Amino acid sequence: MSIAAARTGLIFDAETFTETQPSIESHFICGKGLIDSLTVFLIMNRGRDCEFEDRLQRNTALHITRTIEQAAQEEAPLLYVQDQLGDPEGGFDTTRVVTADLSTLLLSPSGMGRVSACLARFAQQHLMVSAILGPTSGPLALPLMLADLVMMTRKGALCMGRPDMVRAMLGQDCDLQSLGGPQVHSEAGSVQLVFDDEQALFACARKLISLGRRQVPRRRARGPRPRPLHIGRLIPRDPGRPYDAHSLIEAVADAHSLVEISPHHAPEVLTGFATVGKHPMALIANNPRHQSGAIQGPSARKMVRAIRLADKLRIPIVFFADVPGFMIGREAERSGIFSAAAELFSAHVRSTVPKILIVVRKAYTGGLYAMHGPGFDPVAILAYPHANIGVFGVKTMEAILESAPPEKRQVVELLRREISAPARLAEKGLVTEVIDPADTRERILHHLALFLAAEAPSGQPAAPARKSAPRSGPIGVSKVSAPLRKRA
């Protein structure tokens, strides 16, 4: 069996893959098949089955672009798989891909630039996942990074220039792994998931792509129960004490369903996909174990990627806020914290899937908005009983109270009390409800079901998880905002 046939067997439902344009002789195999009965297109080079040949370069570009266009026409997801062509023992020097028509491939409107442009346009609207199974570089590597999700095996590598090029141009000696191996790119956030082997990679790709087929709750549903959520054991009451958000998220998600995205990059925020009561959801949580959970530039962009992926999959997002705000200080300012925050806010308003905010222990100032807070139209704002919500923390308000003039002390004291009393905020209609942490799963499903029931036309079942795009209205007002609902 060829390596390409073995891989398509791992990717698609049995006997569903068919090649598109098989008459085109190229370095790639392109076609479509079913993943959990969902049509998905594949662009995959032939790996060890095919040696690099000059004459196939232009055909390869044509083969890829036609497949991208067909996937776009059918509005289907695309899986792009890259491996090293030919015998992996043959080396990875730049001379292996130097061809007589290199200038034509670079400058022709139908050359490699066309591949990148087509993929960039496709990825603006449709789900794209890329997989790196072996070393790749330059023009072949760049299109992979346009994907919503980039996966790699430990045999993979990704670099702008191969080690021999780095040596020739910069005088630096490096090997492939230290230059662009899985550890380098997973820590940088360029690659979101790393696997020991391609079998595990393709199994995870199938799992994530198929999430888009499932429906969010139309009624209260019962799913596999994880261990109960005991706030005393999992979450310290003191908002300044660190804890690992993984324990919270794993308790809320169905057992063994969580797929964490970019676990080694920007760990102050946890992003992942899981099922809750058998319903797929994206889960985004501040992690006080790292940097107190403060949002920095890399963590803001990590959240942006998760929001966009959830939107492509058409699944709801649940935010778990335990955040002092955006990181401050010279280093934060020089790193572009404002531009990263702007990207995050833009991602929130462009996303059209329903979202729920749960305030775990604290949500202060801009951090509240970063976690899809008031004004960004969450389906519901829920809070745990001891959550602190306000512009400042309680300790900061106490310091302000000490220095406040007599005429302001009453106001400052009132604000201090409100910060640590989410029930008062709920009475004012500023928080949907205060919930027992043990009821987190049930309240998530309840509010999503309420939202979908309200959105569905009369007499028809609830539609998949997608909100209407915001319609024009007065500045700062969205006409699709659902009112905050009291506990039903």
Domain boundary pick from 207, 231, 251: 207
Domain boundary pick from 207, 229, 264: 207
Instruction: Judge whether 477 lies within some domain.
Output: no
Q: Is the separation of the CB atoms in 379 and 358 below 8 Å?
A: no
Q: Which residues of 234-260 are buried (b: 16+ CB within 10 A; e: fewer)?
A: bbeeebeeebebbebbbbbbbeebbbb
Instruction: Judge whether 243 lies within some domain.
Output: yes
Distance CA 53, CA 51 (A): 6
Longest dimension (CA), the chain: 85
For the chain, what is the domain count?
A: 2
Q: Is the separation of the CB atoms in 163 and 175 below 8 Å?
A: yes
Same domain, 184 and 61: yes
For 219, phi and psi rounded to 5 degrees? -155, 170
Same domain, 50 and 180: yes
Q: Looking at 212-316, which runs of residues are DSSP E strands?
A: 259-261, 269-276, 279-286
Same domain, 203 and 267: no
Q: Which residues neighbour 307 within 8 Å (Cβ) at sequence distance 6 or greater? A: 282, 284, 317, 347, 348, 351
Same domain, 341 and 414: yes
Same domain, 111 and 177: yes
Instruction: Judge whether 56 lies within some domain.
Output: yes
Pairing of strands 28-35, 38-45: antiparallel
Same domain, 271 and 342: yes
Same domain, 189 and 277: no
Residue 370 identity (one-letter amino acid)? A
Domain boundaries, position 42: 3-207
Residue 299 token pair: 């963590």
What is the CA angle 456-216-285, rounded to 5? 125
Name the nearest CA neighbour of 364 among 344, 383, 392: 392
Instruction: Judge whether 129 lies within some domain.
Output: yes
CATH number where 429 lies: 3.90.226.10
- How many alpha carbons fall within 13 Å on the CB side of residue 338? 4
Pairing of strands 78-82, 128-132: parallel
Name the nearest CA neighbour of 389 among 403, 369, 404: 369
Domain boundary pick from 168, 185, 207: 207
What is the CA angle 441-371-423, rounded to 5? 60
Residue with tokens 């200038």: 103
Q: Is the separation of the CB atoms in 287 and 268 below 8 Å?
A: yes
Same domain, 202 and 223: no
Q: Looking at 290-354, which runs of residues are DSSP E strands?
A: 317-323
pLDDT, residue 202, reads 98
Q: Is the separation of the CB atoms in 156 and 134 below 8 Å?
A: yes
Per-residue pLDDT of the chain (488 residues; tens, 9 = 90+): 789 999 999 999 999 999 988 888 888 899 999 999 999 999 999 887 777 666 667 788 889 999 999 999 999 999 999 998 877 766 666 556 666 666 666 667 767 788 999 999 999 999 999 999 999 887 778 889 999 999 999 999 999 888 888 999 999 999 889 999 999 999 999 999 999 999 999 999 999 999 987 655 555 545 555 555 665 578 998 888 999 999 999 999 999 999 999 999 999 999 999 999 999 999 999 999 999 999 999 999 999 999 999 999 999 999 999 999 999 999 999 999 999 999 999 999 999 999 999 999 999 989 999 999 999 999 999 999 999 998 887 777 777 777 778 878 788 778 778 888 899 999 999 999 999 999 999 999 999 999 988 876 655 555 556 664 433 333 333 333 333 444 45
pLDDT, residue 57, reads 74
According to DSSP, residue 358 is labeled E
Residue with tokens 């991602």: 347
Instruction: Judge whether 214 lies within some domain.
Output: no
Same domain, 163 and 194: yes
- How many alpha carbons fall within 13 Å on the CB side of residue 345? 13
Q: Is the pTM of this model over 0.85?
A: yes
Same domain, 283 and 313: yes
Distance CA 31, CA 471 (A): 38
Instruction: Judge whether 196 lies within some domain.
Output: yes
Q: Is the separation of the CB atoms in 380 and 432 below 8 Å?
A: yes
Same domain, 362 and 305: yes
Same domain, 36 and 99: yes
Name the nearest CA neighbour of 43 among 31, 58, 59: 31
Calculated CA dihedral for residues 222, 225, 231, 233, nearest 10 degrees: 170
Instruction: Judge whether 329 lies within some domain.
Output: yes
Instruction: Judge whether 358 lies within some domain.
Output: yes
